[in-house]
Structure 1
Amino acid sequence: MSSKACKCGGTEIDIDRARGVSVCKKCAEVIEDTCIVNEAELTETSGGGIQVVGQWVSNDDLRGSSGGGGMMGFNARESRQITLQKARRGIMDIAGSMRMNQHCVDAAFKIYKMALDRGLSRGNKASHLLSACLYIICRTEGTQHILLDFCDHVDADISILARIYLRLARELCINVPHTDPSLLIPRYAAKLDFGDRTNAVSNTALRIVQRMKRDWLNIGRRSSGLCGSALLFAARMHNFNRTIQQIVDVVKISKATIIRRLQEFEVTPTAQLNLQEFDTIELEE
Structure 2
Amino acid sequence: MSNPEQERKDQQGSSNLLSKLRVSGKIIEFKSEGEEKLVCPYCGSTTFIFDYENGQVICAKCGSVVLEHVIDLRPEWRAFTAEEKEARARAGGPLNRLTSEALTTTIDWATKDASGKELDIKRKLEILKYRKWQQRVRVQTSYERNIIQAMNELSRISSQLGIPKACVDEAMGIYEQVLTKGLVRGRSVEAIVAACLHMACRKIGMPRSLDEISQYTRASRKEVARCFRLIARELGVRLPLSDPKLYVPRIVEQLKLSGEILKEALNILEQAKRKGLTAGKDPAGLAAAAVYIASLLKGEVRTQKEVAMAAQVTEVTVRNRYKELARELNIKIPIK
TM range (shorter): 0.3 to 0.5
What TM-score does the superposition give when structure 1 sets the normalisation length? 0.43
Larger radius of gyration: 2
What TM-score does the superposition give when structure 2 sets the normalisation length? 0.37
